[in-house]
Amino acid sequence: MSDCLFCKIVSRQIPAQIVFEDDLAVVFKDINPQAPTHVLIIPKKHLSSLADSADDDAGLLGHLQLVARRIAKEHGLTKGFRVVTNNGQGAGQSVDHLHYHLLGGRAMTWPPG
């Protein structure tokens, strides 16, 4: 997707503080962090949202969760962390490339806003 912000981060057309990368995923620091640790975990493949994923994406979606586990461990988030995706405008999605927020390093409340 040539006009997608996060695809441009994957292809290094736009700079980001990348903390992890493998064949399927990239993880980078959120530009407007909401917690001491706030990174975005994205597939390299363009998917607009979780709702736009297919059954064939099961392996990829599972992989993203395992990346979240790994990054949480590497950042020492032993007291807890949150992994969330905002799906659609009504949920606050502002970038139409699937991303999971990984947040940690502070106490969190529920329900979210």
Print the binding letters for residues 40-59 with ligand 5GP: x by CB under 6 A, - otherwise: x-------------------
Choose from ligand 5GP, Zn ion, none: what does 4 bind? Cβ within 5-8 Å by kind: Zn ion
Question: Residue 14 or residue 108: which is nearer to Zn ion going by CB?
Answer: 14
By CB under 5 A, which span of 42-50, 61-69, 79-87, 99-107 interacts with Zn ion? 42-50
What residues contact residue 54 under an 8 Å CB cut-off, 6+ apart? none
Measured CA to CA, the distance from residue 46 to residue 23 in angstroms comes to: 14
CB 44 within 8 A of CB 7: no
